[in-house]
Amino acid sequence: MKVIEDDRANPATGQTLPATIGPVSPFLFAAYLIAKPFYFFPSGGPQIADAIAGLLFLIIFLGRQSVSRGTAPVLWACVLFSTYTLIVNAVWTLLMMDINMLVTPAFYFFNTIIVYAILSLHGRIGDRLLKVTLVACVVSVAIQVVLSAWAIHAGAERQALFFNNENQLGYWSLLSATIFCIVARQTNMRFLYQAPFLTLAFYLVALSLSKGALVAVFLLLAIHFSRNFGQFVLVAVVGIVAVFLASDFSLLEHVGDRLLNIGGESDDSLHGRGYDRIWLHPQYLLFGAGEFGLSRFPETTIELHSTLGTVVFSYGAIGVFLFGLVLWRLLKLAGWREMLYLVPAFAHGLAHQGLRFTVLWVLFAVIAIVGASTSPRGSQAGEPVAGRRARQGLAAIPDGPS
């Protein structure tokens, strides 16, 4: 992958595709985000959105579009981590003669090419990609809310809508809200326009009744409105009222029951989530145990239900270093304020394995392009955000959403 200073300064770059095809890329990215919640096939297999994402990558790759120098270290860190997942799982595939262990690296490589496609698209159209992302998030969540009137299964407490399970709906809603908040902050969107979207996203999380997503979405709101407690309270109250009005109190009651029951179910324990294999099998903590191959762990029949726990156990100290490199590159590019938006996703990941979910990697890419973007908030027009923050310090970061 060729790295250039900035494609916007070199109009010839990426123009080898016909003019009628090149401009399609932003619409394909938006279509991917909108189609992501529609699952027509079993989990683990490709969905309609994945086909759209593959077409987006193909167009960008054939057009020889390159990422800008500012975001390239993030991309290469993702490549290194994905490559290591392949090495670890390939070795264990040979040792255990279990071909299924090669499936998980395919997820990480697919997610990496999505990161490449997004960063390359940003190199082509610049900060317009942020507006495309914002609109696509709003449209996608709005469509799910509207269709929920017909997709809700009567008699079921937890709803999945068009996903295959309820936790997928909760996690997707959380990540969509996180991406929206980051871009809304970067584009200085008025609170009046943010509140309706966040209310809709909160409603979808409530429908899923995912305990991890419910806790994480409140954490997201607290981070996003950390400098304006009144706005946090207002959005939370409006979201709760919306849930009440949409369900005649029953959904709100279920939400309360789920939150009060945290820690009360059999799988709400370290053993129930698979954490105990970390200290029961410490021999895997250097190079990693790979994912699956559960016959090695007689104490459990499930994979480790933890995002960061999977990195620690499945990929060992080397995997932790490489995944930490991804986060470090994002931190250097975007700064602490943007990195705080990863906290809700990782908090959700304390009880769920969300590392393979592509939208998490879309979130990584969005943080990278926000960090690489130029912003009128800086004292020097056109100065990269990362460089400006390094020069001015965290004091230069605005207090919060307007």
Q: Are 224 and 342 in contact (CB under 8 A)?
A: no
Q: Are 317 and 84 in contact (CB under 8 A)?
A: no
**Domain enclosing residue 376, as ranges:** 67-110+153-396
Question: Does 137 fall in a domain?
Answer: no
Per the structure, the count of domains in the chain is 1
Question: Does 132 fall in a domain?
Answer: no
pLDDT at 159: 93
pLDDT at 262: 79
Cα angle, residue 25 at apex, residues 170 and 363 outer, rounded to 5°: 30
pLDDT at 22: 58
CA atoms 81, 83, 86, 88: torsion sign = negative
pTM of the model: 0.87
Question: Does 44 fall in a domain?
Answer: no
Question: Does 141 fall in a domain?
Answer: no
Question: Does 4 fall in a domain?
Answer: no
- For every residue of 320-357, DSSP letters joined together read HHHHHHHHHHHHHHH-HHHHGGGHHHHHHTTSS--TT-
For residue 216, what are the contacts with CB-CB under 8 A and spacing of at least 6?
Answer: 174, 344, 345, 347, 348
Question: Does 29 fall in a domain?
Answer: no
Question: Does 19 fall in a domain?
Answer: no
Amino acid present at 317: A
For residue 36, what are the contacts with CB-CB under 8 A and spacing of at least 6?
Answer: 47, 49, 140, 172, 358, 359
Question: Does 118 fall in a domain?
Answer: no
pLDDT tens, N- to C-terminus, the chain (402 residues): 544 444 443 444 444 454 434 578 999 999 999 999 999 999 888 999 999 999 999 998 888 778 877 899 999 999 999 999 999 999 999 999 988 899 999 999 999 999 999 999 998 888 899 999 999 999 999 999 999 989 988 778 899 999 999 999 999 999 999 999 999 999 999 999 999 999 999 999 999 999 999 999 999 999 999 888 888 888 888 887 777 676 666 777 788 888 888 777 767 788 888 899 999 999 999 999 999 888 899 887 789 999 999 999 999 999 999 999 999 999 999 999 999 999 999 999 999 999 999 999 999 999 999 999 853 333 333 344 444 444 333 333 333 333
pLDDT at 222: 93
Q: Are 134 and 187 in contact (CB under 8 A)?
A: yes
Residue 19 in tokens: 């003019």
Cα angle, residue 224 at apex, residues 77 and 263 outer, rounded to 5°: 85
Spatial CA neighbour of 124 closest among 44, 40, 66, 41: 66
Q: Are 335 and 371 in contact (CB under 8 A)?
A: yes
Say how many CA atoms lie within 13 Å of 189 toward its Cβ.
21
